[in-house]
Amino acid sequence: MHILDIAENSVRAGAKLVTIRILEDTGKNLYVMEIDDDGRGMTAEERRKALDPFYTTKKVRKVGLGLPMLQNAAMSTGGDFRLESEPGQGTTVIARFRRGHIDRQPLGNIASSLISLILGNPGADFVYDHRFNEGSFTLDTRELKKELDGVPLSHPEVVKFLRQSINDGLKEIGVQDLISE
């Protein structure tokens, strides 16, 4: 859910391209989640406020828990968290976890999260890059749109293909615990 929440924040900030990188290295006990966007960016004051759970720019609720919860999740595993942003330059969120730590939450159903992002934000493109030890899987909606030549990503057969491709790609590189049919 962290990926979904942070990437949706990116789109709300005007991002047209959101890149999600996951790096898992079992030998180094490392798990890194990085989300980078080309949105409007934030000032130093906005970055400070973004990490305050009692501050939000959303009108539908009074608290903004996305970034503070991700920061807490990373720190609770002995990892770290960085929020980098400049006005007009986009934003990068990096959360580093100790992969084997008992408090590290599972990534969850990444196929469903990515499909929700893609279908819910047709004006944005997404790149998902997952590296597990030596293996890698990448999904880029810009490439998909070219290949589909006008067929919308929301077409039921395309959605079915996306789900299967994501699950197969992650299984192929050894990421078994993320798959939930």
**What structural domains and CATH numbers belong to the chain?**
2-172 (3.30.565.10)
pLDDT of 24 strictly over 80: yes
Q: Tell me the whole-structure pTM to 2 decimals.
A: 0.90
Q: How far apart are CA 156 and CA 161, in angstroms?
A: 9
Q: How far apart are CA 149 and CA 43, in angstroms?
A: 39
Stretch 77-96: mean pLDDT: 97
Where helices occur in 76-109 by DSSP H, the ranges are: none
Mean pLDDT, all residues of the chain: 90
Contact (Cβ atoms closer than 8 angstroms) between residue 176 and residue 169: no
pLDDT of the residue at 180? 47
Q: How far apart are CA 176 and CA 170, in angstroms?
A: 7
